[in-house]
Amino acid sequence: MSASEIYRLQAEICRTLSDPVRLQIIDNLKDGECTVSELVDNIGLRQANVSQHLAVLRQAGLVLTRRQATTIYYRLSYPQIVEACQITRQILIDQLSQGSRLVAINTL
């Protein structure tokens, strides 16, 4: 696989992670698997909305599912994704504490 293909795939993962709800879901899954109902309770959104975001994460290969009777449990495919999210969050916190402003995507 070429370097440009790797960058393209990396950008796809970054696009998947570019939604605040998906970041909340990943944060909720960092300590282990959860059901949709548990995620709905923790995040405070409607089940349909959470399910849509889980589908995007699953399609990107970032979450896995396990069925037990009628309940589906979600877990992270790669626990390292939590570390990546924590690093970007820490960069943001550092920038904000230094009074820096992030450039809005639409101004690029």
What DSSP string describes the chain?
--HHHHHHHHHHHHHHTTSHHHHHHHHHHTTS-EEHHHHHHHH---HHHHHHHHHHHHHTTSEEEEEETTEEEEEES-THHHHHHHHHHHHHHHHHHTT--PPPGGG-
One digit per residue, the tens of pLDDT, for the chain of length 108 reads 899 999 999 999 999 999 999 999 999 999 999 999 999 999 999 999 999 999 999 999 999 999 999 999 999 999 999 999 999 999 888 888 887 665 444 345
Q: What is the pLDDT of residue 98?
A: 82
Q: What is the pLDDT of residue 102?
A: 56
β-bridge partners, 72: 67
Domain ranges, ordered by start, for the chain:
3-107
Considering the segment(s) 3-107 as one domain, its CATH architecture is Orthogonal Bundle (1.10)
